[in-house]
């Protein structure tokens, strides 16, 4: 080995020893730190969600295979008119201004039924034929009294003529006058007794005086018939219920706090469980003047047009009542988008490419219920896309991750 070769080996050894001394006591860089030094980025004030970064506290990540099963839907947070509406439950009722409970004026037996439930009837139409023996006697007494009164009038007229010719005495004429007056009094009493039965019309010649017809006082639809042929009907129990169903009343219950902020004449949106997907419009016709002692609510009457006849008394409905002292614009999201996480409310915002399965948990300030939507007071701007259907399942994943110490939601 030459002297030059020995010198080269010595210098190489010194260089290697110097390199080892520089790295002693210094920890090896992680891939994360190396990436940070190699690709520094500007601070923009916005959270970074790029691949290769550390796990973000506010993110929920869903595996692609699970994401396909969740069937998530999204919607934009939108600016809405801040006219506040409150939801109230109620039941559809007949229009009491066009409704009649029809019962017989006297106890009677049902002989025949002339109208069926669901049938349309006109005012004055016969609903049923009934029989009352008391009515028969009263009619017979009236007819007898009428006949006696007519005979007494004829006798009086004849004797007046004879008295004028001095064929009968003045005493006989006076007796005829008294008999006619008595017969007229008996007729008036019989007529009053008959009127007390409340039955209109007289007996047809040769007919049964104990029979009478029950008429509908209004035009409309027979919504109930409780009469049975052969049974004895009583005035206290209606045999038919007739209503004009072209307009109906929806009576809902509003809290006393909201009732004082409702104005008669205000338009109302109404949804029926029996008519999914349809929204009808009505008008607040009457705000109750008394608070229920137990429920602490006030009845609100809403008038509804029954176009097409789809509505039926007894249907349940939900009405959105506009409060009169609200105005302005607010940001709102569908109610299903808002989820309770820990001690606050949050929405889920999709992050990254579509289908990646990364969602930001964004804490927001919850405001008023706007009828299917919720007012957002803070934390969200109009136009931001949020998860709607499936947000509850994302909340479950977020809660699971938080319980395992992987996430912390503010």
Could you read off the pLDDT of 99-135 as tens digits, one per residue?
999 999 889 999 999 999 999 999 999 999 999 888 8
Are 94 and 346 contacting, i.e. CB atoms less than 8 angstroms apart? no
CA dihedral 241, 245, 251, 252 (to 10 degrees): 130
pLDDT value at residue 87: 87
What is the full DSSP assignment across 4-63?
Answer: HHHHHHHHHHHHHHHHHHHHTT-PPPPHHHHHHHHS-----SSPP--TTSPPPTTEEE--
- In the 3-class helix/strand/coil scheme, how is 287-350 assigned residue by residue? ECCCCCCCCCEEEEEEEEECHHHCCCCCCEEEEEEECCCCCCEEEEEEHHHCEEECCEEEEEEE
| Confidence grade of residue 379 (pLDDT, cut at 50, 70, 90) | very high
Kind of pairing between the strands at 240-243 and 279-287 = unpaired
Show the domains of the chain with their CATH numbers.
Answer: 59-83+329-403 (2.40.420.20), 85-96+244-322 (2.40.30.170), 135-209 (1.10.287.470)
pLDDT of 53 strictly over 70? no
Q: What is the pTM of this model?
A: 0.53
Rg (CA), the chain: 45
Q: Which residues contact 339 (CB under 8 A, 6 or more apart)?
A: 345, 346, 347, 348, 391, 392, 394, 395
Length of the chain, in residues: 410
Backbone angles phi, psi at 204, to 5 degrees: -65, 150
pLDDT at residue 168 is higher than 60: yes
Q: What is the mean pLDDT of residues 369-379?
A: 84
Q: Looking at 89-93, 145-149, 398-402, which range is the least confident one? A: 398-402
pLDDT at 40: 41
Report whether pLDDT(36) > 70. Answer: no
Confidence check: pLDDT of 196 > 70 = yes
């Amino acid at each position: 080995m030459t002297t030059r070769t020995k010198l080269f080996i010595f210098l190489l050894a010194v260089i290697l020893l110097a390199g080892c001394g520089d790295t002693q006591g210094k920890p090896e860089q992680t891939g994360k730190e190396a990436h940070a030094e190699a690709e520094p980025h500007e601070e923009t004030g916005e959270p970074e969600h790029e691949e290769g970064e550390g796990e973000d506290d506010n993110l929920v990540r869903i595996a692609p295979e699970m994401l396909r099963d969740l069937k998530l839907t999204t919607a934009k947070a939108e600016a809405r008119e801040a006219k506040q509406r409150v939801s109230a439950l109620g039941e559809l009722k007949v229009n009491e201004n066009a409704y009649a409970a029809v019962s017989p004026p006297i106890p009677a037996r049902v002989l025949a039924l002339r109208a069926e439930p669901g049938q349309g009837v006109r005012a004055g139409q016969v609903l049923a034929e009934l029989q009352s023996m008391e009515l028969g006697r009263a009619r017979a007494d009236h007819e007898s009294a009428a006949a006696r009164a007519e005979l007494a009038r004829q006798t009086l007229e004849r004797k007046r003529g004879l008295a004028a010719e001095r064929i009968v005495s003045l005493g006989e004429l006076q007796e005829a006058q008294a008999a006619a007056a008595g017969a007229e009094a008996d007729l008036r009493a019989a007529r009053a007794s008959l009127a007390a039965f409340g039955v209109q019309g007289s007996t047809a010649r040769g007919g049964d005086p104990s029979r009478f017809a029950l008429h509908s006082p209004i035009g409309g639809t027979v919504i109930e018939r409780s009469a049975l042929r052969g049974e004895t009907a009583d005035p206290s129990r209606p045999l038919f219920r007739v209503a004009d169903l072209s307009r109906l009343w929806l009576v809902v219950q509003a809290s006393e706090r909201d009732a004082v902020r409702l104005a008669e004449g205000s338009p109302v949106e109404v949804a029926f469980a029996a008519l999914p997907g349809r929204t009808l419009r009505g008008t607040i016709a009457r705000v109750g003047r008394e608070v229920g002692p137990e429920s602490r609510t006030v009845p609100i009457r809403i008038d509804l047009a029954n176009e097409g006849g789809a509505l039926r008394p007894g249907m349940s409905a939900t009405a959105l009542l506009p409060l009169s002292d609200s105005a302005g614009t607010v940001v709102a999201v569908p109610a299903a988008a808002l989820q309770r996480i820990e001690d606050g409310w949050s929405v889920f915002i999709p992050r990254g490419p579509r289908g990646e399965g990364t969602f930001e948990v964004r804490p927001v300030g919850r405001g008023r219920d706007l009828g299917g939507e919720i007012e957002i007071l803070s934390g969200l701007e109009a136009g931001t896309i949020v998860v709607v259907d499936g947000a509850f399942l994302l909340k479950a994943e977020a809660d699971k991750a938080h319980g395992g110490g992987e996430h912390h939601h503010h």
